[in-house]
Structure 1
Amino acid sequence: MNHTFPDDLMEAQRAWYAVYHRLATSQHTAQTTVLRRELLRLSVRISTHPYWTCLPSGVPAARMALKQAAWSEADQ
């Protein structure tokens, strides 16, 4: 199934990857706390987005498609 994700949902997923990368490469303990909180905030924003309620079925597959689409855009 081909998905057309809302811009704000794609942006949140791209931001999640960017914050995750910053967390993985951070050397400062104080910064990791802030980054972990940001990851949590973005995770909630992504998982509770209204788009997921519009799907008749296949939400797990759609979530994977979102992750793959955002990751592909990050590689370009």
Structure 2
Amino acid sequence: MDTTSFPEDLITAQHEWYDVDEQLSAAGERERRLRSRLQELSLYIAGHPYWETRATAGVAARIALKRSVRESRGM
């Protein structure tokens, strides 16, 4: 899948999802707030209009987004 076809806001949300996930794994008292933000980002990513088209509706496209963002982060 061509990674340049993802909307910028969707890529940004996936980046932030990884940031919050990393912070959450090291969090103490901030844990509840971080968990809430991670849930908000998960809902945003899952409910993004990009996924409503037939060409992008599959699991493979969602995995491609995650892979693309991970690679851009050097993960």
TM-score normalized with structure 2 length? 0.89
Aligned position for 2:22? 21
Q: Is 1:2 aligned to 2:2, yes or no?
A: yes
Counterparts in 2 of 1:21-60, with a 5 A limit?
A: 21-26=22-27, 28=28, 30-56=29-55, 59-60=58-59
Percent identity of the aligned residues?
36
Give how far 1:54 is off: 1.5
Give how far 1:2 is off: 2.5
Assess if the C-alpha contact under 8 Å between 2:51 and 2:57 holds in 1: no
In 2, Cα distance between the equivalents of 1:57 and 1:42?
19
SS of the residue corresponding to residue 73 of structure 2 reads helix
TM-score normalized with structure 1 length? 0.88
Q: Is 1:64 aligned to 2:63, yes or no?
A: yes
Aligned position for 2:73? 74
Give how far 1:58 is off: 5.4
Number of residue pairs aligned between Structure 1 and Structure 2: 74
Assess if the C-alpha contact under 8 Å between 2:14 and 2:66 holds in 1: yes
Moved over 6 A (4+): none
Q: Structure 1 regions of 5+ residues with no counterpart?
A: none
Q: Structure 2 regions of 5+ residues with no counterpart?
A: none
